[in-house]
Chain A
Amino acid sequence: MFRAAVRLSVSGARSLTWTRLGCTAPLAQRCYSHGGKQETDDEFDARWVNYFNKADIDAWELRKGMNTLIGYDLVPEPKILDAALRACRRLDDLASAIRILEAVKDKSGPHKDIYPYLIQELRPTVDELGISTPEELGMDKL
C-alpha cells in the first residue's frame, strides 16, 4: 500500500484505479514481498498472539513487538491486545499495559468507535489483571 503511494508521488501520475502489485484490500499492510503466499488477517493475528503469549517474553521483546505492531496500518485485534496485556502482567509492567491502551486509542485516529469497542472486548482482561484505563486515571485529559 505504501509502496504504491510512493510510486504514485514519484511518477506524478494520478490514477483512480490503484494497481497494488497483486495485493488486495484486506491484506493491505504487507505488500513489499511478492512471490510468497499472502498472509490472511487471521494468520497475522495468530502470529502476533503467539508472539506475546511467549511465556518468558522479555521487556525488550514486549516493547519491540508493540512498536512494530503500532507501525502497521491497522488497530490490533482485541485478542492480540489481550496477549500483550498478559505479557505486561508477566513482566510486572503496569505502565506499559496502560500505555498500550493509550496507543490503540491514538491509533484509531478520527474513528472514535474503535476504542470503546476495544475496551468493551478487553473489559474482562483489564479487570482480571487489575489494569486501570487511562480514562479511569484521568490521563485522557490534557
Chain B
Amino acid sequence: MSLAKPAMRGLLGKRLRFHLPIAFALPLVAAAAFKYGVTEPRKQAYANFYKQYDTTAEFNNIREAGVFESVRPTGK
C-alpha cells in the first residue's frame, strides 16, 4: 500500500492564516470582556457610592469618635 502525496507547501502560511486572526481577536475580546465585566461595574459602584455620600455627616461621625486632632468631639 503506497502512501498518497500529502500537502507539502504553504503549511506555515495556512497555520498563520488560521491562528493569527484568532491571536488578535481573542485578546481584544478578553480586554473588552474585562473592561465591561469588571472595570466598568467597579467604576459604577464607586460613582454610585459617592453620589449618595454625605461628606458633612461622615465628618461629624468621625469627629464624635474622637479620632481627629484638629477638632474635638462636640461633647453633646
Contacts and interface: CB of A to CB of B under 8 A. Distances in A.
A binds B: yes
Interface of A: 1, 5, 8-9, 12-16, 18, 25-26, 28-29, 41, 73-77, 109, 111, 113-114, 116-117, 120
A73 B12 contact: yes
B52 interface: no
A16 B16 CA distance: 11
Contacts, number: 58
Interface residues of B, number: 19
Contacts of B8: 74-77, 114
6 contacts: A5-B16, A14-B21, A75-B9, A111-B7, A111-B11, A117-B4
Interface in B33-65: none
Contacts of A18: 17
Nearest to A118: B8
Interface in B1-32: 2-13, 16-17, 20-21, 24-25, 28
B20 A5 contact: yes
A116 B1 CA distance: 12
Contacts of A116: 3
B72 to A, nearest CB: 60
B20 A8 contact: yes
Given A1-B10, A120-B3, 5 more contacts: A5-B20, A9-B20, A14-B28, A29-B9, A73-B10
